[in-house]
A and B are shown apart, each in its own frame.
Chain A
Amino acid sequence: MAAISRGILISRQYSGLLGLQTTRNAGAWNKDWMPGPYPKTEEERLRAARKYGLRPDEYKPVPDDGLGAGDYPDVPLVSAESRNPFTNWDYPEHRRNFGEPLHQNFDIYGLDRVNASQQPRFSATHQFLSFASVMAFFLGTYYYFEDRKMHWPLQPRFSATHQFLSFASVMAFFLGTYYYFEDRKMHWPLLPKQFPKEGVTHYTFEKSE
């Protein structure tokens, strides 16, 4: 038990560096990490740029639409999966370099999560049309050949009507007998078994004393 808690404490120190999340540090939030208000003066802009490690000419805060991003920089959304896997990233499991500003919701754009910036090889419309055309081909050929089947050069021994009537009469016989005898079952000449029940008296055939 002690070893487990020690292990957790140690891994917590390392979780930021190695990207291993043995424990989540949600409880270690610091108020200083909260973004400040939207910068209005030039001085505020410079201070905000310095805070986020960006040059003043490349710092652009998220546009103020009243939804509270504050002075957080407008980082272009490139998911980890869309980034070049062969460059020498400082943090390969995030595909990110040291000091690179994080997107606001960067935690959902990791390698194992949403790839919002992917360029699919085929568009969604293309994919759907491929599927639909294959299905149309299969169904089309099936129904097209329903009346054009291969067969021996023979008349059927029994006509279709004859076959159907045979089937129907056999089924009628089975079902008819089954339902006819539902009320006419054989049984022993007994009344139902008497179980002791509250408020019900059962009698034998002997005289009462």
Chain B
Amino acid sequence: MGQVMSEYIGDPATRPDYTKSATFDPLYGFSEGRKERVMIATVEEMQSADLPQDSRDYCAHLAIEHRACRQNVWPLAYKCAHEKHQYLNCQYEDFVLRMKEYERERRLLERTERKAAKAAREELND
């Protein structure tokens, strides 16, 4: 409900477009830089494992391990609990990262608006 309040009933100008990726420079405001995301599974490995397109993200290496474990122990799939949790934890962190990106975008948009309002006020004062 808070999402609806802020986005549709509140100010739509500071609402990031959730269908598009970040519009601001990713390194803007990070004085100490940002660590890059590393893709561990190679394209050949993913192709060899027949991984579906949706799963070929930055957690693909764990997806492949989990699938391999399942294939080995099937039908005793409970034995792959460790690999499964590894994969799901990776997905959770990816989810949190996406939320942080959204929040960063939103705050930068609000800042842009504040700066524009300040500039307009100063223009009036001049």
When the two chains form their complex, are residues A203 and B34 in contact, meaning their CB atoms are under 8 A apart? yes
Docked-complex contact A192 and B18, CB < 8 angstroms: yes
Tally of chain B residues near chain A (CB < 8 A): 32
Whether a CB of chain A sits under 8 angstroms from the CB of B76 is no
Q: Which residues of B contact A190 (CB under 8 A)?
A: 18, 95, 98-99, 101-102
Given the known inter-chain contacts A191-B98, A193-B98, A195-B56, please indicate yes or no for A207 contacting B33, CB distance below 8 A: yes
Partner of A187, one of B3, B33, B95, B97: B3
Interface of A is mostly: loop
For the complex, give the distance between the alpha carbons of A204 and B38 in Å.
10
Judged by a CB distance under 8 angstroms, whether B122 is at the interface is no
B125 within 8 A of A: no
Q: Mark B83-110, 1 if CB is under 8 A from A, else 0.
A: 0000000000011011111110110000
A193-B94, A203-B27 as given contacts; A186 in contact with B4, CB under 8 Å:
yes
Contact across chains for A207 and B8 when beta carbons are under 8 A apart? no
In the complex, what residues of A have CB within 8 A of residue B99's CB?
Answer: 188-190
A209 at the interface (CB under 8 A from B): yes
Contact with A along B23-67 (1 / 0, CB 8 A): 000110000111111010000000000000000111000000000
Q: CB distance B58 to A194 under 8 Å?
A: yes
Q: Please give me the residue from chain A that is nearest to B98 by CB atom.
A: A190
When distances are taken between beta carbons in the complex, the residues of chain B under 8 Å from A194 are 21, 37, 57-58, 94, 97-98
User: Contacts A186-B4, A205-B97, A205-B100: A192 and B19 contacting too (C-beta < 8 A)?
Assistant: yes
Interface residues of B (CB under 8 A from A): 3-4, 8, 16, 18-22, 26-27, 32-37, 39, 56-58, 94-95, 97-103, 105-106
7 tightest A-B CB contacts, nearest first: A208-B33, A203-B34, A190-B98, A196-B39, A202-B37, A191-B101, A206-B35
